[in-house]
Amino acid sequence: MTMQKRVVVTGLGAVTPIGNTVAELWESLRAGKSGLGPITLFDGSRLESRVAAEVKNFDPEAYLPPKTAKRMARFSQFAVVAAMEAWNDAKLEGACDLDRTGVVIGNGIGGNEVDCEAHEKLIQQGPRRIPAMTIPKMIINEAAGNISMTYGLRGRIHTVATACASGTDAIGVALDAVRSGRLDVVVTGGCESAVTEYAMGGFCSLKALSTQYNDQPTKASRPFDRDRDGFVMGEGAGILILESYEHAMARGAHIYAELAGYGATGDAYHLTAPQPDGSGAARAISLALTDGGMAPADVDYINAHGTSTAINDPTECRAIRLAFGTEADRLMVSSTKSMTGHCIGAAGGIEAIVCVKSIADSFVPPTINLETPGEDCDLDLVPNVGRETAVRAALSTSLGFGGHNAVVLFKQFVA
């Protein structure tokens, strides 16, 4: 039987509502800074929810040739720019076999703004007026494809679509690819840009978005709080470089943390709601721990899915209690969606970076806007102020529409 390879994190890249680099993201998280505000990407006056967590001051042509940038939808631009930061952070240029380097990216909705613009052309001017690049820009696999083409990566190029769990599942798929020896290096994570009238209108119809804080946008995302009333749409990308331990050591790479485990389950319960008792998510947590050869007592921090919706937050707390038992009260649990909003397919990538940084920098970011915990939200939820504390291991949990539960487990790297 072939021994599984150890997998380590050697590079990080981010484009988020609270910073367009990992350093900016982390500084904002440490400060408890909100990235939420009034919608500016389009006229949101027709929507019930007029708050979003938009990426700010992002100019793709500062990173990419203008012609190249114009051939990408916004979600692809985010992914490529974040991947460029991660690639440079890992110092991979000339340091890996391009045939054994792959890309696995999670995405939920794709180029929604491209789709909307093309549909308007179709209705107003007919099918002949649909722009030629509509399909190549909008389909969700193009983020992975564009990253591959940026660096000439010829290993496995894969896109994972499991709604809000997409980024986390992508990291899990990438873990398996490196562990098995199929690839030496994988560029992985998630991306999304769904701050559009169409996408947000659809979520409003589901009564999923916050509508009570349009005049106080920075307070709209309040995971686990009694007065939460829905999630806030975010956007961005979070990208990690995964390598086999042997590959990283052979080239003298800086190692942030080890990716130890992954667990994924299905609720088989409802299209949009999680299993109320949290059992599906609890199984995913337990599988990740078993996969990583770790016990509940070994984990110090969970970056929760924590969407700020009525159903998700107490369900997730129940799941953590089911999986961790008597260790649950010792855990620190926070939702950085209180600051970034819910970035859908990008959420898992961004929140995995948060877990890696929490281990590397010995800091747990807070859940802001947590004033009065809601019913069954009874864990240590790190309210409003982060903590300087050692983190031996951290879990990131993601729960997606359709009953997708995904969990990744990171731990301190020991040579």
Q: What is the CATH number of the domain that holds 63?
A: 3.40.47.10
User: What pTM did the predictor assign?
Assistant: 0.97
Kindly state whether residue 412 falls inside one of the protein's structural domains.
Answer: no
Does residue 26 sit in the same domain as residue 140?
yes
Q: Where are the beta strands (DSSP E) in 346-403?
A: 363-364, 387-388, 393-400
Kindly state whether residue 415 falls inside one of the protein's structural domains.
Answer: no
Task: For residue 358, give both structure tokens.
Answer: 């929490």
Does residue 66 sit in the same domain as residue 193?
yes
State the amino acid at position 357 in one-letter form.
K
Does residue 13 sit in the same domain as residue 162?
yes
Q: Which of the listed residues 194, 225, 250 is the one where a domain comes to its end?
A: 250
Does residue 198 sit in the same domain as residue 52?
yes
Q: Which one of 305, 343, 377, 404 is the catalytic residue? A: 305
Kindly state whether residue 216 falls inside one of the protein's structural domains.
Answer: yes
Q: Which one of 96, 158, 164, 355 is the catalytic residue? A: 164
Kindly state whether residue 384 falls inside one of the protein's structural domains.
Answer: yes
Contact 405, 318 (CB under 8 A): no
191 is catalytic: no
Kindly state whether residue 169 falls inside one of the protein's structural domains.
Answer: yes
Spacing of C-alpha 221 from chain mean position: 16
Task: State how many domains the chain has.
Answer: 2
Q: Which residues share a beta bridge with 258?
A: 8, 411
Q: Which one of 342, 343, 355, 377 is the catalytic residue? A: 342
Boundaries of domain holding 199? 7-250
270 is catalytic: no
Task: For residue 125, give both structure tokens.
Answer: 């001017």
Closest by CA position to 259, among listed 333, 349, 383: 349
Kindly state whether residue 126 falls inside one of the protein's structural domains.
Answer: yes
Does residue 234 sit in the same domain as residue 269?
no
Does residue 104 sit in the same domain as residue 182?
yes
Kindly state whether residue 408 falls inside one of the protein's structural domains.
Answer: no
Does residue 145 sit in the same domain as residue 242?
yes
Question: In a structure prediction context, what are the per-residue pLDDT tens digits for the chain, which is 415 residues long?
Answer: 457 999 999 999 999 999 999 999 999 999 999 999 999 999 999 999 999 999 999 999 999 999 999 999 999 999 999 999 999 999 999 999 999 999 999 999 999 999 999 999 999 999 999 999 999 999 999 999 999 999 999 999 999 999 999 999 999 999 999 999 999 999 999 999 999 999 999 999 999 999 999 999 999 999 999 999 999 999 999 999 999 999 999 999 999 999 999 999 999 999 988 999 999 999 999 999 999 999 999 999 999 999 999 999 999 999 999 999 999 999 999 999 999 999 999 999 999 999 999 999 999 999 999 999 999 999 999 999 999 999 999 999 999 999 999 999 999 999 8
164 is catalytic: yes
Does residue 134 sit in the same domain as residue 271?
no
Does residue 147 sit in the same domain as residue 169?
yes
Closest by CA position to 170, among listed 345, 287, 344: 345
